[in-house]
Amino acid sequence: MQYDTAVKLLNKFHSVRVLVLGDVMLDRFVYGVVDRISPEAPIPVVSVERTVDMPGGAANVARNISALGAQCALLGVVGVDSAANQLRNQLELSPAIEPRLVSDPARPTTLKIRYVADGQQVMRADWERKDDLTLEVARELLARRPTERLRHRARASPRHARLT
């Protein structure tokens, strides 16, 4: 894509309304230092200094789209848990994102925790359910989609995406 074409597209991006439908999750980063190995197993012990939470998966896509200036409706499924509350709080920080999340008490909110020590990721722990949504939850999710017709369609191919 030519530079001038990219600039023209980005300048029009504020008038675009995007629908993102996908796996929403909370990404949590736990930062610290390693100064010893555990006596229980040959693994590093991370002395935690701070944690950072941010939207992940489709929620991160929505955040990136809103950072470019577009309005975004986000459809996804969360659990009824503290990770869902934290994800909702994070999404409130982006006024251009309209979260349309369905709460499913039968599944946890996907949570991916990355442990980073001395600038290197040493471990990741995932809480998620990979089975299909129930028909009831899927129907509720689709019922929350915006009813207005989108003015633009994103066409994606393995090589590029463009607005038409």
| Overall number of domains in the chain | 1
Whether pLDDT at 48 is above 50: yes
pLDDT for 16 equals 85
- Position 66: which residue type? S
pTM equals: 0.83
114: which strand partners? 29, 124
pLDDT over 70, % of the chain: 90
Query: What is the residue whose two structure tokens read 């955040």?
Result: 63
Cα–Cα distance, 146 to 72 (Å, whole number) = 10
Compute the mean pLDDT over every residue in the chain, rounded to the nearest whole number.
89
pLDDT for 27 equals 98
pLDDT for 150 equals 53
Residue 159: which pLDDT band, with cuts at 50, 70 and 90?
very low
Higher pLDDT, 89 or 156: 89
pLDDT for 160 equals 40
List, in order, residues 6 or more apart from 115 with CB less than 8 Å away: 30, 32, 46, 121, 122, 123, 124, 125
**Among 108, 113, 52, which residue's Cα sits nearest to residue 78?**
108
pLDDT for 11 equals 82
pLDDT for 151 equals 53
- Residue 79 near residue 107, CB atoms below 8 Å: yes
Range of the domain at 96: 3-163
H or E segment and range at residue 4: helix 3-12
CATH code for the domain in which residue 32 is found: 3.40.1190.20
Name the maximum alpha-carbon separation found in the chain: 60
